[in-house]
Amino acid sequence: MASKQARAVQTNRTASQQDDEESRRAISNVEHHPLIRFIELQDKQNGVTEVQIPVPYGSIAGKWFGPKNVRPILCLHGWLDNSGTFDRLIPLLPPDVSFLAIDLPGHGYSSRIPDGMSYFQVDCIPLILRIMREYGWSKVSLMAHSMGAVIMFIFAALFPDKVDLLIGLDALKPLSFYPDRFPERMHKQVLKFIQADLRNQEKSEPPSYTYEEMMDRLYEGTAASVSRETCPYLLQRNIKPSRKFPGKYYFDRDNRMKYNVISGWSDDVNAELGKRITAPFLTVKAMDSPYPGSKEGFDQMVDILKKANPKYEVVYVPGSHHVHLTEPEHVVPVVVDFLRRYWQKEVDVVSKL
């Protein structure tokens, strides 16, 4: 059940805040690009339901796949992505399993944090607890990609008794920073954050592009990790039609997210976190994707997890960092096998839909 306080904050948001959020979600039918309509039709065919989860600064948006009376696997996307990253994977997974893919704060259709505030990856830890409380879950199952998988790792280590299943897609642990590089990196991040925050407060329209140019920018920005054919699945919730230039669009995600504060601690801390994770845990590593930090650091954490958790496993599949989106057929058999062994249906969940 949602807390009365959270609902009260949601109700008392200013009309301006509500208008801004509705405006970010609204892309008129007249201005819809055919590829956006195609994805909307897919969602309808797959029985996807849009959800809104109240938080003190607005709401968290999400897409619910599967039965509404079954506790879903909560899905967390990667940095600057959104819940659309799972649009091609989840429909290929068992239909009796439910999934709730959310847009993290500042992404997709979810609310931005207030002006002047910074994004911290660890802020998503209490967000998961808030979602659990909203739906009345005593346990949470998680499937996550990239930054979302790092958040999942931290949550599972801090609250091992609240997690019953973990699926990480092409990421494993928080990055470890070199002490001599960290101060200069943070110095640059803070200055860039201030610039992005001021641009938000000006409320001026960002640069706009044709839809095809938007696909090119996303494709190039991910170093071809997202194929041009699958760019629309991420663009759908990340863009808005320009009011100045008909037929063009701009990125509507919060630019402060580019300079979010990544959890930075030593390898020793990561090792201790890894030892605390006890739930069945699958890591799907894309073979054509670079290792965050280093392969040695990844392998060391795999060894730690295997020694501490007999239900941990890592499977390597061909594909890029976004393999679950671009080539989900490589990921599906691995995830289905894992779900068959460890997923347990929890029915009679109170639906908020």
C-alpha span between 292 and 302 (Å, rounded): 14
Of the candidates 146, 225, 263, 320, the residue annotated as catalytic is 146
End-to-end alpha-carbon separation of the chain, Å? 13
Residue with tokens 């994805």: 39
Q: Is 98 among the catalytic positions?
A: no
C-alpha span between 255 and 197 (Å, rounded): 8
The answer to whether the beta carbons of residues 83 and 75 sit under 8 Å apart is yes
In one-letter notation, the amino acid at residue 133 is R
C-alpha span between 136 and 214 (Å, rounded): 39
The answer to whether the beta carbons of residues 212 and 247 sit under 8 Å apart is no
The answer to whether the beta carbons of residues 321 and 286 sit under 8 Å apart is yes
Tokens matching residue 134: 């909203």
Residue positions annotated with a catalytic role? 146
